Structure 1
Amino acid sequence: MHLSSTPRRLLLQTLSALSLTVCGLAAQAQGPVFRVTAIPDEAPTELARKAAPLLKYLEAQLGAKVEFTPVSDYAAAVETLVNKKVDLAWFGGFTFVQAHVRSGGKILPLVQREEDTKFRSVFITAEPAIKSLADLKGRDVSFGSASSTSGHLMPRSFILQAGLNPERDFRRVAFSGAHDATIAAVAAGKVQAGALNISVWEKFVAEKKVDAERVKVFYTTPPYFDYNWSVHADMPAAQRDKLSRAFLGLTRDSEQGREILELQRATRFVPSQVDNYKGIEAAARSAGLL
């Protein structure tokens, strides 16, 4: 059967409209995407590796498509959650404080690893002569990101308590951008010492990614509260509760739970609260970083 141009055009328009309708219905059936981000405190490939099993688990628990949204730096992680471009963010203690202040108290910590209730930083060196914080005087020292809790803020606060001022007493203050980069800088002799997250250091030692006979820890900080998973206060209470239950329900009794917890370097997740981070906020204000 031959169709004239006008009926053919009408048929094509009808098919096109049906196609758009079907696509629209399919999108509605899929529902909204739940977006997750994290501060880039490690290499992008490592962040993606750690996130994949957790995102798959959250998809099943939330009944929604879950996607990871990478960000370029710590400030971008803060802005994406404050502006509700993502639904869930992995923050360090200082980034959480920045987001909480920036949002007028609208960013809330949901859960944290049990390890984050007593987190520590380590100072490392390949120089045998460096045995204490006092020995950093006149040296080149690297922190991680300027907005890192365990890679800058808390190490700086303990340096200040020891009577040293980095800008006055160190020969050079460097910022590597991430914990693994700090290890690399110390190992390569680019700086004489560096401060970083204890769990990243322990992971590198366990995986033999650093020569622990040559690069050693010479100071470990007292404990403090650190990382958490945060949400915006505008998230519906029912979804917040479902999300919290998903994290708190993770155990090492199942293969999936064990894999996720090991990748997150966690024993388990526990509820978090704003008051946990008052000490970090005070340290940030006293250091002039907030």
Structure 2
Amino acid sequence: MFRALLATVLAALTLSVSAETLTFTAIPDQDESQLRTRFEQVGQYLSAELGVEVQYLPVKSYAAAVTAFRNNQVQLAWFGGLSGVQARRLVPGSQAIAQGVEDPEFKTYLIAHHSTGLAPMAELSRDALAGMTFTYGSKGSTSGRLMPQYYLTQSLGEPEQVFSRVGFSGDHSRTISQVEAGAYQLGAVNYKVWEQAVADGKVDTDKVQKVWQTPGYPDYHWTVRGDLDQRFGDGFAKRLQQALLELDDPAILGAFPRKGFIEASNADYAPVEQVASELGLIR
């Protein structure tokens, strides 16, 4: 009788573990429909590789992605440099495990409306840019706010004292649209989003063009909570990392867009943490 009861309990426990769902999210850095297509494909791939149900949880803001990670609503997240630093500071033991091949040397483009008359420049000129209107992307974006703010400040001084108006579009796709429409004369945009939009014919380059780019910096990456193995079993985090590193489906990689994924560690994002601290975005 006892053995039968024990077997039933163990079977129930095994079923409970096997039925566990891995939930992940991503910062909403561009058009929502594009993100859903990209990450639903990732979820299907990971589910097949790991043998567990994998679910993508869309969020409306960078802060919401960090909050979902902190509250254990998600166990895995595709963060930018800054949001990843913020999330790991809130969840001790969490680890950056993978990044795109291009992400250790990411860049931001400064784009300009044709009415500015600006030509591509090797170095920023305060005289050429002063008095224009300018937009970042999201307030929590590494490529849309943190790093462009840092480099603009280094070269020109405080952006609010250089430009006549400084705004936040919300994401990279909106930055491109708003500068193309002339709502802002200048904008800071993730170079990958810009290049993909141009390749897809979604940008009228007669109306808006790239005029400058930042030096390289570390940016996007996958981060996992430190308690992943406790929830899914010993070695699960390593298996998840390996699945991401081995991802070679052109359709999925092209949707990021990335050539592939390589290993990442928390230490890779120390420069981002330092800049965010200097600018007062983290304490």
**Aligned partners of 2:73 and 2:129: how far apart in 1?**
42
SS of the residue aligned with 1:124? strand
Provide Cα deviations, 1:204-246, integer angstroms capped at 9, x if missing partner: 1001101113211000111111000111111115110110110
Q: Alignment partner for residue 110 of structure 2, among 108, 123, 143?
A: 123
**Any conservation in 2 of the 1:122–1:220 contact (CA below 8 Å)?**
yes
Opposite residue 34 of structure 1, the aligned amino acid is: L
Opposite residue 245 of structure 1, the aligned amino acid is: Q
Q: Percent identity among equivalent residues?
A: 37
Report what 2:130 is aligned to. 137
**Correspondence 1:202-217 to 2 at 5 A:** 202-217=195-210
Q: Which runs of 5+ in 2 are unaligned?
A: 1-11
2:182 aligned with 1:195: no
2:221 aligned with 1:244: no
Provide Cα deviations, 1:126-164, integer angstroms capped at 9, x if missing partner: 134334532322111000001000000000111011032
**Any conservation in 2 of the 1:125–1:192 contact (CA below 8 Å)?**
yes
Q: Runs ≥4 in structure 1, deviation > 6 angstroms?
A: none
**Any conservation in 1 of the 2:30–2:172 contact (CA below 8 Å)?**
yes
**Any conservation in 2 of the 1:107–1:231 contact (CA below 8 Å)?**
yes
Deviation at 1:191, TM superposition (A): 0.5
Deviation at 1:30, TM superposition (A): 6.0
**Aligned partners of 2:17 and 2:200: how far apart in 1?**
44
Report what 1:112 is aligned to. 99
Report what 1:254 is aligned to. none
Report what 2:45 is aligned to. 57
Report what 1:160 is aligned to. 153
Q: TM-score, with normalisation over the residues of structure 2?
A: 0.88
Provide Cα deviations, 1:147-187, integer angstroms capped at 9, x if missing partner: 00000000011101103211222111100000000001101
SS of the residue aligned with 1:162? helix
Report what 1:262 is aligned to. 254
SS of the residue aligned with 1:109? strand
Q: Alignment partner for residue 173 of structure 1, among 163, 166, 171?
A: 166
Report what 2:7 is aligned to. none
Q: TM-score, with normalisation over the residues of structure 1?
A: 0.86
Report what 1:97 is aligned to. 85
Going from structure 1 to structure 2, the CA distance change for 1:29 and 1:146 (only over 3 Å counts) comes to: closer
SS of the residue aligned with 1:285? helix
Q: Which runs of 5+ in 1 are unaligned?
A: 1-23, 252-256
Opposite residue 86 of structure 2, the aligned amino acid is: Q
Task: Please tell me whether Structure 1 or Structure 2 has the larger radius of gyration of its CA atoms.
Answer: 1
Opposite residue 63 of structure 2, the aligned amino acid is: A
**Aligned partners of 2:17 and 2:171: how far apart in 1?**
40
